[in-house]
Amino acid sequence: MQPVITEKEQVSSFLTFYLIHSMQIGVGILGFERYIAKDAGYDAWISIILAGIGMHVALWLSYKILDKSNGDLIETHAQLFGKWIGGFLSFLFVLYCLVLAITVLRTFTEIVQVWIFPELSTWIYSGVFILLALSFVAGGFRVVTGICFFSVLYGLPLLAVKYFPLKYGHFEHLLPIFDHSPGDIMKAAQTMTLNFIGIELLFLYYPFIKHAKSSQKWAHYGVLFTTAVYLITALVSYVYFSEGQLQRITWATLTLWKIVDLPFIERFEYAGLGIWETVVLSNICLSLWAAYQGINRLFSLNSKMIMFALGVITLLGCGLLVTRAQIDLLNTLVSKAGFYVLYGYIPFLFITQLIVLKVRRNQ
């Protein structure tokens, strides 16, 4: 049964905008342009719009499921599949949230090692990041929401630096439009999934939102804003780099930061990464909170024990990934898992719920 959540533990419905958007904008935006351009060339900006529409559909289905179950994903699983099967499915989702946190942290650590500190220890940097994130998680969902709120405000000014590469852009790079097949464009939209995943954590923090049903519009605004940010970022990169240049650059957005010319900052990419740490921190906090909440709901364990276990597993997951190929493989696997969750499991859950509720009403 869904535990009673007091009003002091809940957050206002408009903060759903920040929860959705902060989880979708993270480390992926620093270099996603190259990967989607491999599939659809510079028609990939169309794929971003299609992926955004897909997110709106998945979000709408998620709210329908949660409204009818009147609880979180664990309650929904228990209602539809029973205690044991439902508990197993919920445990898989908890693991997914934990792996998501590992993916974000290890990818960002690699970027810091490549761009700023080549000799930086993965274990030490990840350990400090994990301790900081778990300290916020221990403060409760309202504290985690506050981190998400400030991460959006803190990272917003970085959109203004898009002006610098536009001064040297070649807009003819975007022509001709629809130069690739619909299949290529859809494949690029699938590749964009890793950058858009995060809305599925709504299944665990839904009961912590005041007047949760009315928060749906704010969630859709969050997805819409995320789509706009990715679209602007991709278009700026595409007009600045040729396709050949883009395929030789791993992190296009970071490379564009190098041309920012400000009188008080010589290497803006260093400042940009410092700002982006807050954005990444919100990703990790929300993912670890979701994993903590899921384990806390499934098992009767001491909260300190859960925190310790999450910290150790996350640290081991980051420290044992050494090569670029391993990190890239992890990102690919998480992207595929997120795609199946959003476009496979959520529709399956929606249809199953409709059938089960209809059968029970007839009985």
pLDDT tens string 268-279: 888 888 889 999
Q: Judge whether residue 1 has pLDDT over 70.
A: no
CA distance 90 to 83: 10
pLDDT band for position 340 (50/70/90)? very high
pLDDT band for position 262 (50/70/90)? confident
Return the pLDDT at 174.
82
**100 token code pair:** 């998501």
How confident is the prediction for the chain on average, in pLDDT? 91
Check if the beta carbon of residue 25 is closer than 8 Å to that of residue 192.
no
Q: Judge whether residue 293 has pLDDT over 70.
A: yes
Show the CA angle centred on residue 234, arms to residues 322 and 203, nearest 5°.
Answer: 65
Q: Judge whether residue 43 has pLDDT over 70.
A: yes
pLDDT in tens, 184-242: 999 999 888 878 888 999 999 999 999 898 999 999 999 999 999 999 999 999 999 98
- Torsion sign across C-alpha atoms 293, 298, 303, 307: negative
Return the pLDDT at 106.
95
Average pLDDT of the residues in 33-44? 89
Q: Please state the domain extents for the chain.
A: 7-346
Residue 354, strand partner residues: none
Residue 249 φ/ψ, nearest 5 degrees? -115, 125
Return the pLDDT at 2.
67
Average pLDDT of the residues in 322-337? 90
Return the pLDDT at 169.
84
Closest C-alpha among 32, 98, 103, 155 to residue 289: 98
pLDDT in tens, 118-168: 999 999 999 999 999 999 999 999 999 999 999 999 888 888 888 888 888
Return the pLDDT at 157.
86
Return the pLDDT at 17.
96
Return the pLDDT at 166.
86
Angle of helix 182-191 relative to helix 32-40, nearest 10 degrees?
A: 160
Q: Judge whether residue 357 has pLDDT over 80.
A: yes
pLDDT band for position 311 (50/70/90)? very high
Average pLDDT of the residues in 260-266? 78
Q: Which residue has the higher pLDDT, 40 or 223?
A: 223
Q: Which residue has the higher pLDDT, 245 or 204?
A: 204
Residue 27, strand partner residues: none
Q: Judge whether residue 16 has pLDDT over 90.
A: yes
Q: Per the CATH hierarchy, to which homologous superfamily does domain 7-346 belong? A: Amino acid/polyamine transporter I (1.20.1740.10)
pTM: 0.94
Residue 32 CA: distances (Å) to CA of 40, 84, 322, 328, 355: 13, 39, 21, 12, 39
Least confident range of 95-104, 241-250, 313-322: 241-250
Share of the chain above pLDDT 90, in %: 60
